[in-house]
Amino acid sequence: MFKKNMKAKLERIFDVHKVTFDKPGSTKEQNILFVELSEPKMRVRKKTAVGKVSGVLRIFNPGTKMPFGWWQQQLHKCVAADQRDFHFHNFDKSEQVTGDIVERSCEFTYFFSEQFDPKSGLINSITLSEVQDE
């Protein structure tokens, strides 16, 4: 649903090569944005679903590559249209992982609107016919 658009926008905003909705593994892969989502809240009107989802963004990198203020720097550098549907807050929660590797996180809320028509494309019947080869 909304994840495809959210993923594309997050890749452009934070200039990372990969955004994933999986949990971080024990290897703490670097330069990958991990997105942890809460349950989305949606409301349907006519054929449009409007909703919001909250979550936490996490990324692992050397501390020298991601100093404090990195989230805000990326937000200032990106195209304003990409961050229009987001509200970012609680920046720069930080945790030392191993050696120079740090985990930076921030919280966000994403607002989305999409087409909603569950009956569209519903298959009511199927007709099968057999073709014989000669």
* Residues 57-93 pLDDT 10s: 999 988 888 888 889 999 999 898 998 999 999 887 7
101 falls within a domain: yes
Q: What is the CATH number of the domain that holds 75?
A: 3.30.70
What is the spatial distance between Cα 49 and Cα 114, in angstroms, rounded to a whole number?
Answer: 5
25 falls within a domain: yes
What is the spatial distance between Cα 115 and Cα 15, in angstroms, rounded to a whole number?
Answer: 28
56 falls within a domain: yes
Q: Between 112 and 27, name the one with better pLDDT.
A: 112
132 falls within a domain: no
12 falls within a domain: yes
64 falls within a domain: yes
Instruction: Convert the pLDDT of each residue in 28-53 to its tens digit.
Output: 788 899 999 998 898 988 888 889 99
123 pLDDT higher than 70: no
How many domains in the chain? 1
What is the spatial distance between Cα 74 and Cα 56, in angstroms, rounded to a whole number?
Answer: 16
- pTM equals 0.77
> How high is the pLDDT of residue 37?
94
What is the extent of the structural domain holding 46?
3-115
123 falls within a domain: no
What is the spatial distance between Cα 27 and Cα 127, in angstroms, rounded to a whole number?
Answer: 52
